[in-house]
Amino acid sequence: MNTPQPRSTDENEIVLGQGMGPLKFGASMDEVRALMGEPEEIEESEDDDEFEHQAWNYLEEGYSLYFDREDDYRLSCIETDHPGMRLYGEPIHGKSPEEIQALMQRHGHDQGETEKVDTGEMRLSYEKEMIDLYFDEDQLQFVNFGVYINDDLEVQWPA
């Protein structure tokens, strides 16, 4: 019987353009299934969605993993609200927008753009880094990040 690998805090490390812990962008659905087990829920994109995709939801772990048809259903985006998520080795869940902006700036990233979204949260986006961070009442709640895309809109899969 195949049992999932035990999870550690290292597995919650977000690496921009690469993935999160053992989850690497470009992984096939079979590779992700071998790492994570069966998702609790699989969502198909709506007919009017710009990109046809599947979202695999691991609700207990706090992950949603996205596979786009255009990319041969390889892992291209991760959304997480895991309380142990880390960026550049620092825990980020519950941090303020200012703390996140300072962290990004310390690691050479330009100022992000902020926007109030329809659901009431505030989104801090770093377009070049392909990461959106969502805040409610000035506390980071969840992060959505993906594989890098170059200026010609070509996916840059990690090596």
Which CATH number characterizes residue 61's domain? 2.60.460
Look up the domain containing 121 and give its range: 13-146
**Would residue 157 count as lying in a domain?**
no
Per 3-state DSSP, the chain is made up of helix, strand and coil in percentages (nearest 5) of 15, 40, 45
**Would residue 1 count as lying in a domain?**
no
Give the pLDDT score at 48.
Answer: 66
Q: What is the mean pLDDT of each run of 10 residues along the chain (159 residues)?
A: 42 94 95 95 80 90 92 95 95 97 96 90 95 97 96 91
**Would residue 101 count as lying in a domain?**
yes
Decide: pTM greater than 0.75: yes
